[in-house]
């Protein structure tokens, strides 16, 4: 599994909107500038998020985008499943593919199923609210 720029940018956009949710609808141009993403590419990502009802949009003056739910109700897994074709670690576990003819006798299938379970549980355990204002650099230990 390799997360595309679309998935990574979607996560950044969702965090941005969560951090600025008190501002109401945030214009696409404002999000693009803050996140340093081209307007055109961001537009294609936001369309996916709106279609999945993760965001709502408003056209015209005072328009833009905002979250449809509270940040703690979104998980990283929810967001990535909208933007990525698949989070499967191997193609035979991808829901869009036919069942592998070797599945019944595959000695490694349980390994890949276990890996997928770990990946999905991990991504579903992190909420948008946990990522907001997280400026830690990984060196937050005390001696």
pTM: 0.84
The one-character DSSP state at 104 is G
Quick one: pLDDT at residue 143?
A: 52
Backbone torsions φ then ψ of 141, nearest 5 degrees: -90, 160
Quick one: pLDDT at residue 46?
A: 97
User: Are 30 and 13 contacting, i.e. CB atoms less than 8 angstroms apart?
Assistant: no
Q: What is the C-alpha separation between 60 and 82, in angstroms, rounded? A: 26
Handedness of CA 40, 22, 136, 126 (dihedral sign): negative
DSSP state letters, 23-85:
G-SB-HHHHHHHHT--HHHHHHHHHHHHHTTSEEEE-STT-EEEESS-GGG-BHHHHHHHHSS
pLDDT tens sequence for the chain (143 residues): 789 999 999 999 999 999 999 999 999 999 999 999 999 999 999 999 999 999 999 998 889 999 999 999 999 999 999 999 888 888 778 777 777 777 788 888 889 889 999 999 999 999 999 999 765 555 454 55
Q: What is the C-alpha separation between 132 and 111, in angstroms, rounded? A: 34
Quick one: pLDDT at residue 135?
A: 59
């Amino acid at each position: 599994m390799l997360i595309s720029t679309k998935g990574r940018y979607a996560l950044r956009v969702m965090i941005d909107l969560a951090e600025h949710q008190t501002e109401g609808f945030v214009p696409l141009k404002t999000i693009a500038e803050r996140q340093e993403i081209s307007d055109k590419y961001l537009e294609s990502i936001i369309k996916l998020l709106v279609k999945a009802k993760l965001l709502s949009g408003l056209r015209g003056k005072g328009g833009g985008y905002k979250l449809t739910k509270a940040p703690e109700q979104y998980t990283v897994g929810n967001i990535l499943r909208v933007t990525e074709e698949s989070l499967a670690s191997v193609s035979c576990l991808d829901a869009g593919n036919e069942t592998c003819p070797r599945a019944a006798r595959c000695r490694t299938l349980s390994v890949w199923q276990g890996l997928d379970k770990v990946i999905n549980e991990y991504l579903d355990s992190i909420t948008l609210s946990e990522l907001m204002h997280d400026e830690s650099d990984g060196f937050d230990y005390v001696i």
